């Protein structure tokens, strides 16, 4: 595993060159392996090429985030284009407008999507979490109300789980929902809510029975962001963006109809939803190969191509990216043959540490050319790299911190006793 608890360091360009022409040939070899890997993929499944061409023709490139643009409309428009082409959510079952695509097709979709440099998906919380939860736990009326607007990106969703004091220990959440006739009256606060500033709906976990045991008495409810008493306060990040927000609830009245499952059923549903996040739908090795190519351009322009420590770092990263590729193939094989994959539990830990190491290495190579906070591009790609570097630090936290991931691996994959027992 990579060590990521380090600040970006300057790679010491003064070290003597020990690699010689042989190491230089190895760099060339690595790059040609990248090309081979991409060519081999192309033949894997017939529709890959078709998808690749469609994305080449339609995907917007270099689309900045909604916060930077001050509007989510270009992202919504792109989602509608995906929907019209049938690509909005290929993993959804056919009866709900998807293809019922299996794990292999999902992996290929993700690889091609990343290869094309297409924008991050704005409605990911709906397509990966809220939608599948409705399919599994919602009533037919709830599915009819919410699923198609998710697929067509007419309604963007965000996830309201974390609270101050309830992150890793989600069961400690205190936002409260009191039943009043046919309504739930919600009071409390959520935090770190990604996409909240431009979302139309939020799915929430609220405590509806304060007397019940910690993980009982929690309810999953869908809330219209325009409801009176709901206030979004964007959080300013150190890179200047506001990708997430605090969301405050003061006597927010929501129809009981919006409760998914039953009152008190929220913990079971949330655990099922978080399990859905495993699998091949979120990241592929391709994005890291793209990043490696950018890193290579930084190395070239810094005159560090002969620095042995840089060679070693880039070589390590390349090996890790390729290992991730083969690891994902293993997950896909497991999912296709048994419907589950134990080793998928390693996924988030692996890619987030790989990503953090990658961007940290690039920051070391860029050194002062990386700039600071919201400086512009000192060399092509430097500002984007710096932003990705900060985001790569966040990826060690969101979706369950890596310490928690390690606990899960130790307890559920390796069968070690729970901490403290």
CB of 216 to ligand FAD, least distance (A): 20
Tell me 144's DSSP state: H
For residues 183 and 246, which CB has a smaller minimum distance to ligand FAD in the complex? 246
186-225 footprint of ligand FAD as x/- string (CB under 6 A): ------xxx-------------------------------
The one segment of 72-80, 159-167, 287-295, 351-359 that binds ligand FAD by CB under 6 A: 159-167
Backbone angles phi, psi at 340, to 5 degrees: -145, 165
Give kind and range of the element (H or E) at residue 12. none
**58 or 268: CB nearest ligand FAD:** 268
Residue 45's CB is within 10 A of a number of other CB atoms, namely 14
Specify burial of residue 61 (Cβ count, 10 A radius: 0-12, 13-18, 19+): exposed
CB–CB of 208/185 below 8 Å? no
- Which position among 168, 250, 275, 337 is part of the footprint of ligand FAD (CB under 6 A)? 168
Nearer to ligand FAD among residue 383 and residue 410 (C-beta)? 410
Touching ligand FAD, residues 375-404 (CB under 6 A): 394, 397-398, 400-401, 403-404
Of the candidates 56, 203, 57, the one whose C-alpha atom is nearest the C-alpha of residue 125 is: 203
| Enclosing H/E stretch for 17 | none
Radius of gyration of the chain (CA): 23
Total of chain residues touching ligand FAD, rule CB under 6 A = 19
- Of the candidates 147, 233, 133, 250, the residue with the CA atom closest to the CA atom of residue 193: 233
Among 30, 72, 159, 219, binds ligand FAD (CB under 6 A): 159
Stretch that binds ligand FAD, among 25-33, 158-166, 317-325, 357-365 (CB under 6 A): 158-166
- Identify the active-site residue in 155, 277, 360, 388: 277
161 is a site residue for ligand FAD (CB under 6 A) = yes
Residue 136 in contact with ligand FAD, rule: CB under 6 A: no
The Cα-based distances of 270 to 137, 200, 329, 354, 402 in angstroms read 11, 20, 27, 27, 19
Of 208, 206, 243, 209, the C-alpha closest to 223 is 206
Does 162 contact ligand FAD by CB under 6 A? yes
Give the three-class secondary structure for 121. Answer: coil
- Residue among 128 and 292 whose Cβ is closer to ligand FAD: 128
The candidate with the shortest Cα–Cα distance to 220, out of 268, 281, 179, 285, is 268
Identify how many contiguous H helices and E strands the chain contains and give both numbers.
Answer: 14, 8
Do 333 and 282 meet the contact criterion of CB atoms below 8 Å apart?
A: no
State the DSSP H helix or E strand holding residue 332, giving kind and residue range, or none if neither: helix 308-338
We find the least distance from the C-beta atom of residue 166 to ligand FAD, in angstroms, to be: 7
Per-residue binder mask for ligand FAD (CB under 6 A), 69-98, x = binder: ------------------------------
Q: Which residue, 329 or 407, has its beta carbon nearer to ligand FAD?
A: 407
Is 277 an annotated catalytic residue? yes
Residues 310-329 that bind ligand FAD (CB under 6 A): none
Residue nearest to ligand FAD (CB): 167
Smaller CB separation from ligand FAD, 7 or 43: 7
Q: Quick count: other Cβ atoms within 10 Å of Cβ 98?
A: 20
User: Least Å distance between CB 388 and ligand FAD?
Assistant: 13
Q: Minimal distance in Å, beta carbon 338 to ligand FAD?
A: 29
Nearest to 246 by CA among 323, 167, 160: 160
- The torsion region of residue 389 among left (phi > 0), alpha (psi -120 to 50) and beta comes to alpha
3-class DSSP state for residue 143?
Answer: helix
Nearer to ligand FAD, 24 or 394 (CB): 394
Question: Which of the stretches 138-146, 153-161, 266-274, 360-368 binds ligand FAD when contact is defined by CB under 6 A?
Answer: 153-161
- Between 231 and 250, how does the x/- string for binding to ligand FAD read (CB under 6 A)? -------------x------
- Per-residue tokens: 15: 């070290």
By beta-carbon proximity to ligand FAD, the closer residue of 242 and 401 is: 401
Q: Which residues bind ligand FAD (CB under 6 A)?
A: 158-162, 167-168, 192-194, 244, 394, 397-398, 400-401, 403-404, 407
Catalytic residues: 277
């Amino acid at each position: 595993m990579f060590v990521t608890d380090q600040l970006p360091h300057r790679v010491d360009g003064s070290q003597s060159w020990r690699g010689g022409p042989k190491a230089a040939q190895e760099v060339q070899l690595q790059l040609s392996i990248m090309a081979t890997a991409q060519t081999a993929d192309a033949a894997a499944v017939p529709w890959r090429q078709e998808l690749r061409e469609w994305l080449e023709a339609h995907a917007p490139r270099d689309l900045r985030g909604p916060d930077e643009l001050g509007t989510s409309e270009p992202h919504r428009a792109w989602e509608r284009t995906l929907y019209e082409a049938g690509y909005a959510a290929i993993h959804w079952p056919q009866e709900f407008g998807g293809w019922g695509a299996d794990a292999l097709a999902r992996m290929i979709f993700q690889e091609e999507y990343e290869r094309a440099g297409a924008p991050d998906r704005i409605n990911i919380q709906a397509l990966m979490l809220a939608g599948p939860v409705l399919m599994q736990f919602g009533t037919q009326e709830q599915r009819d109300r919410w699923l198609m607007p998710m697929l067509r990106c007419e309604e963007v969703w965000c996830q309201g789980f974390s609270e101050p004091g309830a992150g890793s220990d989600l069961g400690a959440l205190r936002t409260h929902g009191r039943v009043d006739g046919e309504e739930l009256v919600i009071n409390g606060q959520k935090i770190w809510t990604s996409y909240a500033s431009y979302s139309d709906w939020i799915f929430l976990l609220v405590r509806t029975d304060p007397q019940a045991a910690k993980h009982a008495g929690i309810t999953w409810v869908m809330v219209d962001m325009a409801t009176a008493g709901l206030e979004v306060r964007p959080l300013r990040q150190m890179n200047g963006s506001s990708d997430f927000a605090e969301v405050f609830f003061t006597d927010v009245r929501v129809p009981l109809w919006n409760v998914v499952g039953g009152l008190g059923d929220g913990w079971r549903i949330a655990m099922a939803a978080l399990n859905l996040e495993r699998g091949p739908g979120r990241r592929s090795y391709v994005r890291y190969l793209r990043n490696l190519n950018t890193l290579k351009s930084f190395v070239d322009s810094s005159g560090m191509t002969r620095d042995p420590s840089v060679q070693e770092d880039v070589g390590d990263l390349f090996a890790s990216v390729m290992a991730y590729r083969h690891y994902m193939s293993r997950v896909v094989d497991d999912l296709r043959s048994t419907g589950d994959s134990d080793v998928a539990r390693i996924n988030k830990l692996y890619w987030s540490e790989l990503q953090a190491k990658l961007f940290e290495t690039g920051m070391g190579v860029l050194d002062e050319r990386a700039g600071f906070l919201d400086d512009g591009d000192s060399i092509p790609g430097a500002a984007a790299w710096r932003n990705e570097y900060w985001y790569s630090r966040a990826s060690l936290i969101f979706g369950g911190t890596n310490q928690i991931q390690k606990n899960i691996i130790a307890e559920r994959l390796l069968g070690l006793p729970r901490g403290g027992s």
